[in-house]
Amino acid sequence: MGAVADVFGKAIQQVERERRLLDREPDPASPPERDAPAFAPWPDCRTELLDANSQYHAATLLPGTRAAGLKRLLLRVLNVYTYRQVLFNAAIVRILNRWDQRLRSLGGELSDSSLRLTERLNRRVARIEERRSLWEARLAGQLGALEDRTGAAESDLSELQSRARQERARVDALEDSVRRLEALLASERETASAGKPR
């Protein structure tokens, strides 16, 4: 009897532990969708680069400039003093031209990879949520079956206890009958031995 009660006690403790573990996490109605992080687009500096490409040399005049001949002559004289600055400006403009295209392509690739990663993560989260709901349903079914078995075992145990009480009552009645018979037999022997001559 004690071993059966220990088994049921352990089973009840295990069921309560599982219930506490399940109740600790709230059940969301649907998994949260994760959005791709918003990257600011690379600033459009094509106009500034076109202006820099057309004006990095100080001797360059825009079309329609007034007194262009005089200004050109003056700029050629100044070119002697500004030649190294013109080379530096040209190098800076070439570097900016190259890096603008490269950074635009990198920004596009980063945005595309971020979207792909977000979609992949959303699919994985959905799969995990689906598996979790399946496991919860399976665990709920197993808990229900365990509760049914526990209830059946408890009813069997109570039935066995009532049978044991009935059997104990029968054994007590039989022991009383045996005692009465022994007492009756002893009194009969005494009567028989008292009536016999020695």
**SS3 letters for 9-34?**
HHHHHHHHHHHHHHHHCCCCCCCCCC
The pLDDT tens digits of the residues spanning 58-70 come to: 566 777 888 888 8
The pLDDT tens digits of the residues spanning 41-52 come to: 666 777 777 777
What are the tokens at 84?
A: 């190294």
Nearest to residue 57, comparing CAs of 22, 89, 99, 21? 89
CB 85 within 8 A of CB 96: no
Across 31-40, 55-64, 167-176, 186-195, the highest mean pLDDT is recorded for 167-176
Say whether pLDDT at 26 is over 50.
no
Say whether pLDDT at 23 is over 80.
no
The C-alpha atoms of residue 171 and residue 34 are separated, in whole angstroms, by 74
Q: Is the dihedral of CA 47, 53, 57, 59 positive or negative?
A: negative
Angle between helices 68-195 and 46-55 (to 10 degrees): 150
Say whether pLDDT at 76 is over 60.
yes
Q: Average pLDDT of the chain?
A: 80
Say whether pLDDT at 1 is over 60.
no
What are the tokens at 157?
A: 């145990």
Return the pLDDT at 104: 83
More confident residue, 54 or 83: 83
Return the pLDDT at 27: 42
Where helices occur in the chain by DSSP H, the ranges are 2-24, 46-55, 68-195
The pLDDT tens digits of the residues spanning 106-143 come to: 888 888 899 999 999 999 999 999 888 888 888 888 88
Return the pLDDT at 197: 58
